[in-house]
Amino acid sequence: MNIAIVGSGLVGQAWAIVFARGGHRVKMWDGDPSAVGQAARLIEKQVSDLRAAGLIEDAAGLISRISGCASLEEVMSGADYVQESLPERLEMKKEIFARMDALAPPTTILASSTSSIPASAFTEDLAGRARCLIAHPVNPPYLVPVVEICGAPWTDAKVIQQTWDVMEGVGQKPVKIHRELKGFVLNRLQGALLREAFRLVEQGYVDAEGLDVTVREGLGLRWSFMGPFETIDLNAPEGLADYARRFNDMYQTIATEQTSTEPWSEAVIEKLEAQRRSILPKEKLLERRLWRDRRLMALAAHKKSAE
């Protein structure tokens, strides 16, 4: 398959790795002429890390399937699937999708990586709007495989299925979002948990580190290989409905205290920031991000071997 990467920043680079790792030919373009060369160098670095972690075998073969292009016309030429990863600005999405729709034959799928703009906001007036949709990754997608797939109301169901198949074919874990919604599913779940987490610290029940331990040594263990529904399905003798009926009252009682829609206050932000900085000084953030990526690689290798 021929894949076009439009926008070669961090997200575009990671997508190039995912598709090339999956055996596809990948062409890459960016509005900034110097960006593609820089992206190629960063991709080599990332692929070398993946190789070192044992997550890919043929690094040279992967790299050889990725090439840069000097124009949008060139990158779109012959593409079966286009993954757009420009900055999160509505006007840029409108402009690039209009140009891509004019250049691509009707069977080419046009997908956007946006995490915040629904497809209906920038595809409504396009002749080919039925082949446009969102395929939202989590960074970096070669380590965090979930992809949220969400069409506009006019996106063809076949296009959604084809995108799902493309993603599954390269080892990603696609999820169909049936209707447009703010933040898709992942960030809504994260937001619900974070809101309660901020509140518990604000009201003095627990500290930042205690809360993190509760998740990383408790809740997060199960959630890293089951989801929340499978977790509760296995936590009552007769399965999910049994669990829901046993614990509905308890969770409802808790919920009445979890309804705040206030923004996170400056006071709690400062409290949490101070607690995090006492654990991790600001000058060590970058080093710790590299640690995180090594841990994600080791976890990916572990999950692969445990399946």
Residue 5 has φ and ψ, to the nearest 5°, of -105, 120
Which of 224, 246, 267, 304 touches a copy of itself (CB under 8 A)?
224
Smallest gap from Cβ 61 to a copy of itself, in A, equals 25
Judged by CB under 8 A, the stretch of 22-30, 37-45, 74-82, 171-179 that binds a copy of itself is 171-179
Note every long-range contact of 293-299, with CB atoms under 8 Å and residues 24 or more positions apart, other chains counting. 293/49, 293/140, 293/143, 294/53, 296/143, 296/144, 297/49, 297/50, 297/53, 297/55, 297/143, 298/53, 299/224
277 binds a copy of itself (CB under 8 A): yes
Residue 201 near residue 211, CB atoms below 8 Å: yes
Sign of the C-alpha dihedral, residues 87, 90, 91, 96?
A: positive
> Which residue, 94 or 195, has its beta carbon nearer to a copy of itself?
195
User: Could you give the CA distance from residue 141 to residue 124 in angstroms, rounded to a whole number?
Assistant: 28
> Which residue, 105 or 225, has its beta carbon nearer to a copy of itself?
225
195 binds a copy of itself (CB under 8 A): yes
> Which residue, 25 or 195, has its beta carbon nearer to a copy of itself?
195
Residue 126 near residue 99, CB atoms below 8 Å: no
92 binds a copy of itself (CB under 8 A): no
Smallest gap from Cβ 92 to a copy of itself, in A, equals 19
Residue 180 has φ and ψ, to the nearest 5°, of -65, 140
Smallest gap from Cβ 270 to a copy of itself, in A, equals 7
154 binds a copy of itself (CB under 8 A): no
Smallest gap from Cβ 11 to a copy of itself, in A, equals 14
Which of 9, 72, 183, 202 touches a copy of itself (CB under 8 A)?
183
> Which residue, 91 or 307, has its beta carbon nearer to a copy of itself?
307
52 binds a copy of itself (CB under 8 A): no
208 binds a copy of itself (CB under 8 A): yes
Which of 41, 60, 91, 256 touches a copy of itself (CB under 8 A)?
256
168 binds a copy of itself (CB under 8 A): no
Which of 244, 246, 278, 304 touches a copy of itself (CB under 8 A)?
244
Residue 6's DSSP bridge partners are: 29, 84
